Copies of this chain bind each other. A is one copy, B any other.
Amino acid sequence: MMGKLYGIGLGPGDPGLVTLKGFRILQVADVIFAPKSEKGEVGIARSILRQILPEKECLELAFPMVRDLRQLEQHWGEAADIVAAKLAQGLTAAFVTLGDPLLYSTYNYLLEALRRRNAHISVETVPGITSFSAAAALANLPLVEGDERLALLPAAAGPEAIAQALKAFDTVVLMKIGSRLPQVRRLMLSLDQAADAVFVSRAGLEGEAVVRDISQVQDDHLGYLSVVILRRRKEGR
């Protein structure tokens, strides 16, 4: 009997944002994997697990942040082999990610590597709270209402694409800010007349910051684990 793989979104940091279903699966999983790749992410996924299930062990899988596609595929392949080996033993495995597993997450690469191996395994994905939903909640800020439109961009899209998106979309969410925080701040300042902006860093974690006046975003704010929500200004708002 082959085991089953669950991809489980832990939400962006607050252990309370794990879903009931995700929690129940983690309780009974034979083995829990967490990605080791992104700066800081391991610590946080592990820390969430430790808070909700202190007795459970968690194995790290390496997903290094290298640019070379062949090297990357090799790493993903090795991770897929480790997971597939556990499933071949008939075990139930959970792979946890921050946020939602299918939204900018290493889980996508794991799934792809498993597919490429033609491993006929049973996979179930349990969605997670996205960092932008958590950020909007902390600011009590509507993301979209009525017939509004939302664009989700990585900061790497660049200032031009972001300003362009603000013309066609009511809300623009910037993710994967990382070391681009200074550029993002400059852009936010330049858009000051066109949009209301909220910067949220480390939602639900120690050092959480919700900053509405962008000039107050400091250099010591972490770009990693931060989100910017831009709301286009409208007449009468």
Stretch at the interface among A29-37, A87-95, A104-112, A211-219: A104-112
Q: Does A47 contact B (CB under 8 A)?
A: no
Q: 4 nearest interchain CB pairs?
A: A16-B21, A125-B137, A127-B133, A150-B152
Measured between beta carbons, the chain B residues less than 8 angstroms from A18 are 19-20
Inter-subunit contact A127/B123 (CB<8 Å): no
Q: Does A126 contact B (CB under 8 A)?
A: yes
A158 CB, nearest partner CB in chain B, Å:
10
Question: What is the count of identical protomers in the complex?
Answer: 2
Total A residues in contact with B, Cβ cutoff 8 Å: 59
**Cβ-closest chain B residue relative to A112:** B142
Inter-subunit contact B16/A133 (CB<8 Å): no
A223 CB, nearest partner CB in chain B, Å:
15
Q: Does A157 contact B (CB under 8 A)?
A: yes
Measured between beta carbons, the chain B residues less than 8 angstroms from A168 are 161, 164-165
A49 CB, nearest partner CB in chain B, Å:
13
**Cβ-closest chain B residue relative to A175:** B144
Inter-subunit contact B17/A11 (CB<8 Å): no
List A residues 13-71 near B (Cβ within 8 Å).
14-21, 23-24, 52
The CA of A149 and the CA of B169, in the complex, are separated in Å by: 13
Inter-subunit contact B15/A20 (CB<8 Å): yes
Inter-subunit contact B156/A152 (CB<8 Å): no
A149 and B142 contact, Cβ closer than 8 Å, known pairs A20-B20, A130-B133, A137-B101: no
Contact with B along A115-143 (1 / 0, CB 8 A): 00000000111111110011011101111
The CA of A145 and the CA of B164, in the complex, are separated in Å by: 21
**Cβ-closest chain B residue relative to A150:** B152
